[in-house]
Homo-oligomer: A and B are copies of this chain.
Amino acid sequence: MNNTIPTRIYLAEEEMPKFWYNLRSDMKEKPDPILHPGTLQPVVPSDMEPVFCKEAVKQELDDDTRLVPIPERIQDFYRAYRPSALIRAYYLEKALGTPAEIYYKFEGTNTSGSHKLNSAGPQAYFAKEQGLQSLTTETGAGQWGTALAMACGFYGLDLTVYMVKVSSEQKPYRKAVMETYGAKVIPSPSNTTEAGRRILEKDPNTGGSLGCAISEAVETAVKTDKCRYVLGSVLNHVLLHQSIIGLETKAAMDKYGIKPDIIIGCAGGGSNLGGLIAPFMGEKLSGKSNARFIAVEPASCPTFTRGRYVYDFGDTAKTTPLVRMQTLGNGFIPSANHAGGLRYHGMSAILSKLYHDGHLEARAENQTEVFDAAIRFMKTEGILPAPESSHAIKAAIDEALECKKTGEKKVILFGLSGTGYFDLSAYMSYNAKTLSDMVPTNEELERGFVTIPDIPQNK
């Protein structure tokens, strides 16, 4: 294909971002403050520092600093696998016969297989700088655990990963990668924690959930002073680190004078979507762009489209601070869905607020249709996408087909957050036509909502 815009756009090393961008600084309406679960007052750093690294807490509570310098050693870390490619989907466009231009930012070529490494590196670095010896975390589909295992291997930190049991059984190789990088992987719920034992007593056969694995990881972290807990999504500082995705994308697009009309990402906790849209949403909030933003979630875990915008805990044991967010209730256990990374009851406070205020759209998709889109994509673009990322592909294809109807030549950008190398059992089920859509009934959702704490909401 002979076009002026190359198929793959890579930034040169000197063009790579030196700062993270804090989207909150440009939000006139900020997300509601994080509350201490005991006092119901906004948390102060000392409330969070027993659990999280100091620098992470500072970033978490900083709504104002617009550009946060990326420390030199983290720039080094990023250079080991970044920049990622911004790819023009010429083949997909042609197959769809759409007048739309489709671009995707592909975060899946590093060994962890996803964008998660963008925050794992900084968080491990901050822990090391603080003099810590070890970290704990949870992982669902395994991307975050793998990324953190790599980062801890790189910076020389011990790591314990609580892996949602159903995932650890479905993905033994994910576990193997983490262990090869030196991490200790414990299927959750486990009997190594109070939180785990409590859940196992109630339901010895549970496949686990992210909310439960978080409880176990936090409990373990606070037991010793040289250990902290790190989270791979949802929180503000994670979205800050992930802004590298959007910043690189914007720099690459600016180089070629490309302005996206529609920006799409899959949303589990929001780290990939939040990172991709950050600088573009910043422009929109300051009136410089009319782009549309679309969050795509699985119909089996419809946090945006069927959740509530209220204060809730981040974990099932109700030990975390309270965050005002779109939530299905901390007790919501999603039905087994192979798009494991999107199975969280809550959502980034930043994205929740943007959705609440009408700046961000959301839609829920059934997984069989998501896999249809994935197959269409892999056969044209050549890349085997993660089931999570395929939610974004589904929406991008739908928007491109809408352009075909209307004849509009829109510019569609989506985030391809990871590869499907470790999700082949899901593809095998798809090939065997044994995948099903597991949409929760209203009654099931109600059972989640009753676990939401009864706290006065602002509005």
B382 touching A80 by the CB < 8 A rule?
yes
B residues in contact with A419, CB < 8 Å: 111
* Oligomer copy total: 2
B residues in contact with A379, CB < 8 Å: 153-154, 181-182
The reply on A109 being an interface residue by CB < 8 A is: yes
B residues in contact with A431, CB < 8 Å: 176, 179-180
B residues in contact with A172, CB < 8 Å: 424, 428
B residues in contact with A177, CB < 8 Å: 384, 424, 427
A436 to chain B, nearest CB (A): 18
A residues near B (Cβ < 8 Å) are 1, 6-8, 10, 12-13, 76, 79-81, 83, 91, 109-111, 113, 150, 153-154, 172-173, 176-177, 179-182, 375, 378-384, 419, 421-422, 424-425, 427-428, 430-431
> Once the chains are docked, how many angstroms separate the CA of A81 from the CA of B12?
18
> Once the chains are docked, how many angstroms separate the CA of A179 from the CA of B429?
12
A5 to chain B, nearest CB (A): 9
Sorted nearest first, the 6 A-B pairs with minimum C-beta distance are A6-B13, A173-B424, A109-B109, A7-B79, A176-B424, A111-B384
B residues in contact with A173, CB < 8 Å: 173, 421, 424-425
A430 to chain B, nearest CB (A): 8
> Once the chains are docked, how many angstroms separate the CA of A404 from the CA of B377?
48
> Once the chains are docked, how many angstroms separate the CA of A5 from the CA of B430?
45
B residues in contact with A76, CB < 8 Å: 1
B residues in contact with A8, CB < 8 Å: 13, 79, 83
> Once the chains are docked, how many angstroms separate the CA of A364 from the CA of B268?
47
> Once the chains are docked, how many angstroms separate the CA of A211 from the CA of B180?
33
Interface of chain A: mostly helix, strand, loop or mixed: helix
Which of B80, B176, B381 contacts A7, CB < 8 Å?
Answer: B80
A6 touching B1 by the CB < 8 A rule?
no
> Once the chains are docked, how many angstroms separate the CA of A320 from the CA of B56?
63
Which of B10, B91, B421 contacts A10, CB < 8 Å?
Answer: B10
Which of B110, B150, B182, B382 contacts A154, CB < 8 Å?
Answer: B382
8 contacts between A and B (CB under 8 A): A8-B79, A113-B421, A150-B382, A173-B173, A176-B428, A176-B431, A177-B427, A180-B430
A110 touching B80 by the CB < 8 A rule?
no
B residues in contact with A154, CB < 8 Å: 379-380, 382
A435 to chain B, nearest CB (A): 13
B residues in contact with A180, CB < 8 Å: 375, 378, 384, 424, 427, 430-431
Most chain B Cβ neighbours within 10 Å, of A12, A176, A381, A425: A176
B1 touching A12 by the CB < 8 A rule?
no
B12 touching A111 by the CB < 8 A rule?
no
Contact of A111 with B424 at beta-carbon distance under 8 Å, contacts A6-B12, A8-B13 already known: no
> Once the chains are docked, how many angstroms separate the CA of A173 from the CA of B428?
8
A116 to chain B, nearest CB (A): 13
B residues in contact with A381, CB < 8 Å: 80
A34 to chain B, nearest CB (A): 33
> Once the chains are docked, how many angstroms separate the CA of A80 from the CA of B378?
11
A108 to chain B, nearest CB (A): 8
B residues in contact with A181, CB < 8 Å: 378-379
A264 to chain B, nearest CB (A): 21
A331 to chain B, nearest CB (A): 34
> Once the chains are docked, how many angstroms separate the CA of A83 from the CA of B182?
32
B residues in contact with A179, CB < 8 Å: 428, 431
> Once the chains are docked, how many angstroms separate the CA of A176 from the CA of B431?
9
Most chain B Cβ neighbours within 10 Å, of A83, A180, A384, A419: A180
> Once the chains are docked, how many angstroms separate the CA of A153 from the CA of B177?
29
> Once the chains are docked, how many angstroms separate the CA of A59 from the CA of B210?
55
B residues in contact with A10, CB < 8 Å: 10
> Nearest residue in B to A110 (C-beta to C-beta)?
B382
